[in-house]
């Protein structure tokens, strides 16, 4: 279970990052973010959605936006990357999420998505660094993820962040990081 003792306040979790010539605010996802999350997922290419979902999920933008906007803070955490240079309403351009793995104490599963037109700028890498730091702060011992074996960018990023390949089966690679 993700520990709620000594949790940082939401303001402690907000960080402005500069990637190239552009700035992004990384902060916890809020309940009021549902529409912006939907817009982000709806702006992604069908291929990116398929890579993220490891197949097709009917109405993924609605399902994922509602799920992330209603995180159970006792079991999960989600961080959003927001375009800090756009006038309000600012766009969410990426999101990373961890959720307790009920079958393994001290472990969580991660997922991440960066809007198709913002990929390759370091947003996903920053989100993953932040979500891993948050996992450490919450006392987790490991974080795992399931990545489509065609998702070379995600597999490279996982490797650069210290994840190891734990298993590969039926087109899916399980990666894990010990914290």
For residue 178, give the H/E element and its range.
strand 172-178
Query: How confident is the model at residue 7, as a pLDDT?
Result: 45
For residue 167, give the H/E element and its range.
strand 164-169
CA 57 distance to own-chain centroid? 18
Domains plus CATH for the chain? 14-178 (3.40.630.30)
Query: How confident is the model at residue 5, as a pLDDT?
Result: 39
pLDDT band at 86 (very low <50, low <70, confident <90, very high): confident
Candidates 127, 96, 113, 116; CA nearest to 43 is 116
Cα–Cα distance list, 175 to 106, 121, 123 (Å): 16, 22, 20
Cα–Cα distance list, 30 to 22, 86, 121, 137, 178 (Å): 23, 19, 24, 20, 28
pLDDT, average across residues 29-39: 95
Average the pLDDT over each of 11-20, 75-84, 163-172 and give the range with the smallest value.
11-20
| 5 φ/ψ sector (left φ>0, alpha ψ -120 to 50, else beta) | beta
Query: How confident is the model at residue 12, as a pLDDT?
Result: 66
Sheet strands (E) in 60-128: 76-83, 92-100, 107-114
Q: Give, as one character, the DSSP assignment of residue 55.
A: S
Query: How confident is the model at residue 11, as a pLDDT?
Result: 52
């Amino acid at each position: 279970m993700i520990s709620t003792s000594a949790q940082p306040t939401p303001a402690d979790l907000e960080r402005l990052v500069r990637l190239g010539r552009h700035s992004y605010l990384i902060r916890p996802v809020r309940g009021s973010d549902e529409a912006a999350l939907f817009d982000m997922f709806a702006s992604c290419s069908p291929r990116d959605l398929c890579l993220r979902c490891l197949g097709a999920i009917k109405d993924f933008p609605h399902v994922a936006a509602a799920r992330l906007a209603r995180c159970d803070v006792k079991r999960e955490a989600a961080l959003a990357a927001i375009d800090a240079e756009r006038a309000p309403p600012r766009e969410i351009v990426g999101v990373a999420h961890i959720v307790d793995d009920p079958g393994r104490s001290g472990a969580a599963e991660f997922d991440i998505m960066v809007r198709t037109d913002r990929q390759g700028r370091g947003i996903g890498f920053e989100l993953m660094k932040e979500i891993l730091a948050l996992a450490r702060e919450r006392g987790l011992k490991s974080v795992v993820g399931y990545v489509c074996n065609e998702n070379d960018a995600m597999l490279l990023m996982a490797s650069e962040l210290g994840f190891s390949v734990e298993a590969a089966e039926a087109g899916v690679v399980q990666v894990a990081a010990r914290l």
